[in-house]
Amino acid sequence: MPVMKKTENKSQTSLHNESTSTPSLRETYQLGSLGTTLRAALASREARSIKRRLPEPSVLGKQSLIDFTSNDYLSLSTSPLLRTRFLQKITAKDRGQILGSAGSRLLVNPDAHHRLERRLENILSRPSRNESDTPQVGILFNSGFDANMSFFTCIPQPGDVIILDEYIHASVWDGVRASRLAQDCVKTFEHNSIESIRTVLDRLLNVIPSDTSSASIAERLHSGSSSLFVAVESLYSMDGTLAPLREINKLLSQLFPRKNAYLIVDEAHATGIYGPPSRPGCGRVSQLGLDGGLGSPVGVTMREMDDGEECRVLARLHTFGKALAGSGAILLTTPLLTSYLINYARPLIYTTALAHPNVVLVDSAFDLMIEGETEQLSTHLLALSAYLANLLQTELDKARISPEIVCLPPHLLSPTLSRSLESSSLSSNDHHDISSPLSSSSSSPLHPPTPIMPLLTPHPRPLSAFLLALGMNARPITWPTVPRGKERVRVCLHSGNTKKDVEALVSGVVEWARGWTEQIEEKKEKNVVVVDSLQTQSKL
């Protein structure tokens, strides 16, 4: 068969001949001025060592590296128990459609999705409701990102006000940016600082109008004609800090007697890990007794309920992609807001609903939670976290590593951290032997343990590379993901990690820090020698 030469390709030939100024194919791929701009942006990131890249492809569960990076906190993605449960459920004879979902929720409304929502409404809220508890309705989203985008774009109305923790997730920011709020109605407060929230609110409640023809923000908030939203994460993804939810709730109750201030809680990283003793894994809102629904009495005990404080939590988000080994999310809020979202939330309306296998997987993960299977995993996880904080601080102190090289964040530093570890609650490599850190008197860091631990260092890439060479995967995190000057290696612990893994991590970090310190001192000495010899020369 005759082979057509490239130049004989008709379309190409005509392309080339149309005019001498027509770009060549190669030039076409360069994308002209668009290409120039994109390449310049990427080159600038490369020059500043902040260009993002996908990591090496990996097969979860088959990595030779120790995982200190994924959000698979309970190691459920490789759990034989979850896998078996999922397979049983998905192959059950009475299960109908088992593959996709065949359309948007507004087009087809699969029974499995509907049932999962009703089930999670029950699991994630107080079981024996007070008379005054208000029902919460769950609505599934394809991702936590979509849920945050939907909520913050749609629900706040023109004239309303949002205040955000400065470390709030990008999806909340994007939702707020796409909302109909004026710029002066969006404020941030210092991470987890009640004082800062109070200051921001005091200012908002006392704003003097520049234009006397319209009601000021303060007047609108005082009268109740505008609403205030406070957006927080219950467990912050980059810092491993827990939001002071009860304190914020109390402040809103005090400052907004007209009850027009609402708390919106993103439980993405807390789901599956924290919860009240009777419902482990149901999140921090439940753990702190704020899950009765908007306006219901706060508290898990009668004594706490006596003070008359009401829940100000209007909505909370539980995602399935982290500790629960699935994907998607459920937003729990009032029936009115749910109906509004179904009408106006574009990421909910104009997208294909979660595929059936994912819904079945999430249902199976909640089975394990209800049956108490995940409780021992989270107990081990939090014990391991307390052990890591204690051991690392002790070893960094012993090796006299300067905090300018690497250190734990302030919320994890406590006088008790440098205590001897001999009496630690961890006694073996087998995680079932680890008792709860919360009941251990030998390890009582200031902050309750969380699976996320940032190792603050101005040199996150070399530290991460050093750990990688030792077979440990802990990723460097730099600006713009975290603020400048707050670079870190973010360590995420998992239920599948062992005490031995943690010890290897600590000795790797200390070894790197020692070597890095020596390098810096050598450089300093060389500089001194050079300066000395220059001074001697100039004297001669």
Ligand X SMILES: Cc1ncc(COP(=O)(O)O)c(C=O)c1O
Task: Provide the minimum distance between the beta carbon of 144 and ligand X in the complex, in angstroms, as a whole number.
Answer: 2
Task: Provide the minimum distance between the beta carbon of 348 and ligand X in the complex, in angstroms, as a whole number.
Answer: 13
d(CA 290, CA 128): 14
d(CA 457, CA 459): 5
| Rg of the chain over all Cα atoms, to the nearest angstrom | 27
**What is the DSSP code string of 124-164?**
HS-SS--TTPPP-EEEEES-HHHHHHHHHHHSSPTT-EEEE
- Would you say how long the chain is, in residues? 540
Asked if residue 290 lies in contact with residue 239, where contact means CB atoms within 8 angstroms, the answer is no
Residue 406: which of 473, 442, 459, 364 has the closest Cα?
Answer: 459
Q: In terms of CB distance, is 148 or 464 closer to ligand X?
A: 148
In the set 72, 160, 233, 309, which binds ligand X (CB under 6 A)?
Answer: 233
Q: In terms of CB distance, is 237 or 393 closer to ligand X?
A: 237
In the set 145, 167, 366, 516, which binds ligand X (CB under 6 A)?
Answer: 145
Task: Provide the minimum distance between the beta carbon of 502 and ligand X in the complex, in angstroms, as a whole number.
Answer: 23
In the set 77, 319, 450, 473, which binds ligand X (CB under 6 A)?
Answer: 319
Rule CB under 6 A: is residue 143 a binding residue for ligand X? yes
Q: In terms of CB distance, is 362 or 504 closer to ligand X?
A: 362
Residues within window 153-182 making contact with ligand X, judged by CB under 6 A: 169, 171
Task: Provide the minimum distance between the beta carbon of 172 and ligand X in the complex, in angstroms, as a whole number.
Answer: 7
Residues within window 251-270 making contact with ligand X, judged by CB under 6 A: 266, 268-269
Q: In terms of CB distance, is 162 or 221 closer to ligand X?
A: 162
- Maximum Cα interatomic distance, the chain, rounded to a whole number of Å: 96
Asked if residue 146 lies in contact with residue 351, where contact means CB atoms within 8 angstroms, the answer is yes
Residue 244: which of 285, 208, 299 has the closest Cα?
Answer: 285
Task: Provide the minimum distance between the beta carbon of 234 and ligand X in the complex, in angstroms, as a whole number.
Answer: 9
Asked if residue 28 lies in contact with residue 434, where contact means CB atoms within 8 angstroms, the answer is no
Task: Provide the minimum distance between the beta carbon of 265 and ligand X in the complex, in angstroms, as a whole number.
Answer: 10
Q: In terms of CB distance, is 321 or 454 closer to ligand X?
A: 321
Per-residue contact flags (x/-) with ligand X for residues 269 to 308, judged by CB under 6 A: x---------------------------------------
Task: Provide the minimum distance between the beta carbon of 112 and ligand X in the complex, in angstroms, as a whole number.
Answer: 19
Task: Find the angle CA(423)-CA(429)-CA(435) to the nearest 5 degrees.
Answer: 50
Asked if residue 353 lies in contact with residue 104, where contact means CB atoms within 8 angstroms, the answer is yes
Rule CB under 6 A: is residue 329 a binding residue for ligand X? yes
User: DSSP assignment, residue 417?
Assistant: G
Task: Provide the minimum distance between the beta carbon of 375 and ligand X in the complex, in angstroms, as a whole number.
Answer: 23
Residues within window 347-386 making contact with ligand X, judged by CB under 6 A: none
Task: Provide the minimum distance between the beta carbon of 329 and ligand X in the complex, in angstroms, as a whole number.
Answer: 5
Q: In terms of CB distance, is 124 or 504 closer to ligand X?
A: 124
d(CA 242, CA 244): 6
Task: Provide the minimum distance between the beta carbon of 132 and ligand X in the complex, in angstroms, as a whole number.
Answer: 30
Task: Provide the minimum distance between the beta carbon of 271 and ligand X in the complex, in angstroms, as a whole number.
Answer: 10
Task: Provide the minimum distance between the beta carbon of 325 and ligand X in the complex, in angstroms, as a whole number.
Answer: 12
Q: In terms of CB distance, is 266 or 373 closer to ligand X?
A: 266
Tokens of 243: 């939001």
Residues within window 72-101 making contact with ligand X, judged by CB under 6 A: none
Task: Find the angle CA(478)-CA(74)-CA(365) to the nearest 5 degrees.
Answer: 125
d(CA 341, CA 331): 10
Rule CB under 6 A: is residue 321 a binding residue for ligand X? yes
Q: In terms of CB distance, is 197 or 492 closer to ligand X?
A: 492
Q: In terms of CB distance, is 143 or 286 closer to ligand X?
A: 143
Please enumerate in sequence order all residues whose Cβ is within 8 A of that of 155, keeping only pairs 6 or more positions apart, or say none: 229, 315, 337, 340, 341
Size of the site for ligand X (CB under 6 A): 14
d(CA 137, CA 339): 10
d(CA 300, CA 286): 9
Residue 279: which of 353, 370, 207, 350 has the closest Cα?
Answer: 370
Task: Provide the minimum distance between the beta carbon of 328 and ligand X in the complex, in angstroms, as a whole number.
Answer: 7
Residue 313: which of 339, 288, 336 has the closest Cα?
Answer: 288
Using CB atoms, what's the residue nearest to ligand X?
144
Task: Provide the minimum distance between the beta carbon of 492 and ligand X in the complex, in angstroms, as a whole number.
Answer: 11
* From 12-20, 126-134, 142-150, 463-471, span contacting ligand X (CB under 6 A): 142-150
Q: In terms of CB distance, is 279 or 322 closer to ligand X?
A: 322
Per-residue contact flags (x/-) with ligand X for residues 450 to 479, judged by CB under 6 A: ------------------------------
In the set 110, 138, 144, 496, which binds ligand X (CB under 6 A)?
Answer: 144
Rule CB under 6 A: is residue 411 a binding residue for ligand X? no
d(CA 207, CA 24): 60
Rule CB under 6 A: is residue 237 a binding residue for ligand X? yes
Phi, psi of 313 (to 5 degrees): -80, 110
Residue 152: which of 331, 353, 349 has the closest Cα?
Answer: 331
HEC per residue, 490-533: EEECCCCCCHHHHHHHHHHHHHHHHHHHHHHHHHHHHHHHHHHH
Asked if residue 474 lies in contact with residue 467, where contact means CB atoms within 8 angstroms, the answer is yes
* From 58-66, 144-152, 176-184, 518-526, span contacting ligand X (CB under 6 A): 144-152
Residue 388: which of 76, 61, 73, 68 has the closest Cα?
Answer: 68
Per-residue contact flags (x/-) with ligand X for residues 194 to 223, judged by CB under 6 A: ------------------------------
The burial class, CB within 10 Å (0-12 / 13-18 / 19+), for 205 is middle
Contact positions vs ligand X (CB under 6 A)? 143-145, 148, 169, 171, 233, 237, 266, 268-269, 319, 321, 329
